[in-house]
Amino acid sequence: MESKLLSIPQMILIGSSGRNSGKTTLAVEMINKWKNKSSIIALKITSLQEKNGKCQRGGEGCGACSHISGNFELIEETNKNANKDTSLLLAAGAEKVFWLKSLRSDIYDAIKFFMSTVPPDTLIICESNSLRKVVLPGSFIMLNNTKNGVIKKSASEVIEKADLIIEDDFRNDIDSIIKKIESDLFTLPLNLEKGK
């Protein structure tokens, strides 16, 4: 089955076993570390069961995640100062940041569309569990640090595909995690313009 996946070797995919687990924190640290070595685009993916459905987090929600035009929607973040994950990624130094909202059934087409907009030799740092079902990234990192021991369904479906599983709170160990990624898991797509 892995051979039928879309290969994106310049992507580091970050998944997590639960909400508020540190995906964006890790992505921001990667961007800070590598922004002078490689062109970086950050991507946050929200996969939806259905259009105009319930909030992914339960309750009524704000509607931002579930209201999409078409079967997927790609939105570029332009505000570095908002209190949103995408803004934090942009403020960290990613050249561009996108939020891709997609019906689960259309995530393959959605990521193919996104990839058609990405220049070659660009590092993509992406937050998603669901994407691992359709993509073979350069590296897949799973944050497994749920406080109540309950793993999200989307994480349980892909955790065995992780190249690295980070247990518990990793924030005091960021440097060694970044070094492990650099030395064992991933080769940065170096942009010669950045390397000047």
pLDDT of the residue at 4: 85
Q: What are the residues whose beta carbons fall under 8 Å from the beta carbon of 190, sequence distance 6 or more?
A: 37, 38, 121
pLDDT of the residue at 53: 54
3-state secondary structure of 151: coil
Question: What are the pLDDT digits (tens) for 18-28?
Answer: 887 889 999 99
pLDDT of the residue at 64: 57
Sorted by where each starts, the structural domains of the chain and their CATH numbers stand as 2-185 (3.40.50)
Distance CA 84, CA 3 (A): 35
pLDDT of the residue at 125: 97
Place of tokens 């350069």: 138
16, 23 Cβ separation under 8 angstroms: yes
Distance CA 73, CA 81 (A): 23
Low-confidence ranges of the chain (pLDDT < 70): 1-3, 50-67, 146-148, 184-196
pLDDT of the residue at 36: 92
